[in-house]
Amino acid sequence: MLLSEVVDASREVGATRSRTAKTRVVAALLARAEPAECAVVASWLAGEPRQRKVGVGWRTLSSHAEPAPGTTTAEGSAPLDVVAVDALLDGLATTAGAGAAARRGALLDELFAPATADERSFLVRLLTGELRQGALEAVVLDAVAQASGAPAALVRRAAMLSGSLPTTAHAALNGGAEALEAVRLEVGRPVHPMLASPGGTLEDVLADAAQRALDVVVEPKLDGARIQVHLDRGADVPVRVWTRTLREVTDGLPEVAAQVLALPCETAVLDGETLALDDDGRPRPFQDTMSRFGSDEGSEVLLSPFFFDLLHLDGRDLLDEPLAARLVALDGLLAAPGHAPLRMPGARGASADEAAAVLERALADGHEGVVVKDLAAPYAAGRRGRAWQKVKPVHTLDLLVVGAEWGYGRRTGSLSNIHLAARDPGGGAPLVVGKTFKGMTDALLAWQTATFPGLATAEHRWGLELRPELVVEVAVDGAQRSTRYPGGVALRFARVLRYRPDKTADQADDVEAVRALLV
Ligand code: AMP
């Protein structure tokens, strides 16, 4: 398959807001791909190289992508094909050590020299992450189902269990439903975590559950970092830990590993939250927890793990069991004496009063709110469903920063007013829903000013347009209808609470979550 065919499909996908139309275009392309090309094409259309990162920044890319003055692009060269481009990207991703910059430069020239202007622009956007727009992954998974004839639920499940879209596309398109069914939870390979969706007030969420005749558990929502911990005593590294974005952090969290090693089992996959606590057990600021996940090697804060789900125990997969059964297994495992408490208890089958008491206690203890969970629901990742709903006292949204304006007055020289966008659930470009310069400390302003230029896709007199990659959590008073913003909705009084380095763009809230706040 030629690169130009993928570029044309990508353009078509971008040109329509209809999710059905996008899915159709992607499915048609995947159906034409050769067996060896499926994984690559699926990955590109979801906005990511198969290699995920190739280690080349925007400036280097654009300097190589710019045709030398006087040369005519692409004429006379053989057209680029998908497999050849993927092989060059492999080369880029694995080039390291002395002389790497020069070798990368040569590979980039090899990549761009035969490319047409459209192909260059596609490749630059692919490699800088600009094409990566959360919802696209869901569109591509649906298209994989369409093109392979396998049920969409089976495709999504394989993606959750393998943690990899290319692997899933390859299995579906080459081996059909049978190959997808063979994708199982493997201890030692992280699965995509189940997500919570923003709920309204506790009363609303409970009333909604009652109406649907659901039994729920109300658990404190800890304000830390999501961790997925795999224990396998037979493995070289018995305990391994991943973040919400499936980044491995095993080496960085020995104290978490030690606690899990003390559990009375041979194999387990645990899902939970880890956070830094004060001596009196109150959560320390979120930044203290995150300091253990960044490049700040010197951080000496200790983290405490708390688990709220169990996906596997001693050879038994629990993912498809209802939460009620998973919690019985989890409580049984964690009840063994001899280790620190690893569970923040919630209230099961709670009455409205008991649920309110859990929320009150959680807030009094310094936590964020509660998560209300359907006790009958299996563990399901990918889409934010209503099986887990989070309730917080203030409305907060996780939005994408897509632009920043130069400040004035005291903020002259700082990138200050940020443009906030929500994901388009149809897979289109993020939709701007507001701006804010509130809630920023001087340190945060300095960080923005230093960080944003590395994400710039265009420079203007007023400021920068940014690749939609950074997720920022804002508090808002609500939302109102707007004729000015493309999603038809604008935030009311947004202020920055913090950046969320633990979240990727596809985990930002979508415009429906913003519309849900319309008063
Ligand atoms: P948010 O980060 O606002 O999307 O809220 C969902 C996140 O809350 C999950 O991904 C977990 O990291 C975290 N969390 C904290 N406590 C719980 C809990 N008891 N159950 C599920 N998620 C929790």
CATH number of residue 300's parent domain: 3.30.470.30
Q: Is the CB of 222 under 6 A from ligand 1?
A: yes
E strand intervals along 156-281: 197-198, 216-221, 225-232, 239-242, 267-276
Look at residue 119 and tell me whether its pLDDT is greater than 80. Answer: yes
pLDDT at 338 over 70: no
Residue 316 sits in the same domain as residue 368: yes
Question: Are 221 and 115 part of one and the same domain?
Answer: no
Pairing state between β 431-436 and 225-232: unpaired
Going from the Cα of 370 to the center of ligand 1, the distance in angstroms, rounded, reads 9
Q: Answer with the one of 368, 391, 414 that is the final residue of a domain.
A: 391
How far apart are the C-alpha atoms of 3 and 10, rounded to whole Å? 11
End-to-end CA distance of the chain: 50
Residue 22 and residue 139 in contact, taking contact as beta carbons nearer than 8 Å: yes
Domain count, the chain: 3
- 173 and 199 together in one domain: no
| Pocket lining: 89 vs ligand 1, CB cutoff 6 Å | no
Top mutation candidate among 371, 392, 500 for ligand 1, by most atoms within 8 Å of CB: 371
Q: Is 187 a member of any domain? A: no
- CATH number for the domain spanning 29: value is 1.10.3260.10
**Is 22 annotated in the active site?**
no
| 207 and 284, same domain (yes or no) | yes
Residue nearest (by alpha carbon) to ligand 1 atom 11: 226
The verdict on 204 and 340 lying in the same domain is yes
Q: What is the CATH number of the domain that holds 494?
A: 2.40.50.140
Report residue 154's pLDDT band, with 50, 70 and 90 as the boundaries: very high
Cα–Cα nearest to 273, from 302, 244, 314: 244
409 and 371 in one domain? no
Asked if residue 278 and residue 255 are part of one domain, the reply reads yes
Looking at the fold, whether 177 and 218 belong to one and the same domain comes out as no
User: Picking from 148-152, 197-201, 217-221, which range would have the lowest pLDDT averaged per residue?
Assistant: 197-201
Q: So what's the pLDDT on residue 74?
A: 55
Cβ–ligand 1 contact at 515 (below 6 Å): no
> Ligand 1 centroid vs 196 CA: distance in angstroms?
7
Residue that the structure tokens 């994984």 belong to? 39
Atom of ligand 1 nearest to the CA of 226: 12
pLDDT band at 383 (very low <50, low <70, confident <90, very high): low
* Ligand 1 and 505: CB distance under 6 A: no
Name the domain boundary from 181, 216, 246: 181
Determine if ligand 1 sits within 6 Å of the CB of residue 343.
Answer: no
Q: From the alpha carbon of 503, which atom of ligand 1 is closest?
A: 2
Pairing between β-strand 197-198 and β-strand 388-391 as defined by DSSP bridges: parallel
CA of 219, closest atom in ligand 1: 19
Assess whether the C-beta atom of 196 lies below 6 angstroms from ligand 1.
Answer: yes
Residues 158, 236, single domain; the answer is no
Q: Are residues 271 and 363 in the same domain?
A: yes
| Amino acid residing at 322 | P
Residue 24, ligand 1, Cβ within 6 A: no
Q: Which of 366, 259, 355, 270 is nearest to 302 (CA)?
A: 259
CA 236 to ligand 1 centroid distance, Å: 30
Supply the pTM of this predicted model.
0.78
**pLDDT above 90: residue 273:** yes
**Rounded to whole angstroms, how far apart are CA atoms 384 and 196?**
6
Residue 167: pLDDT band with limits 50, 70, 90: very high
Is the domain of 361 the same as that of 217?
yes
> 30 and 42: one domain?
yes
- Boundaries of domain holding 278: 195-391
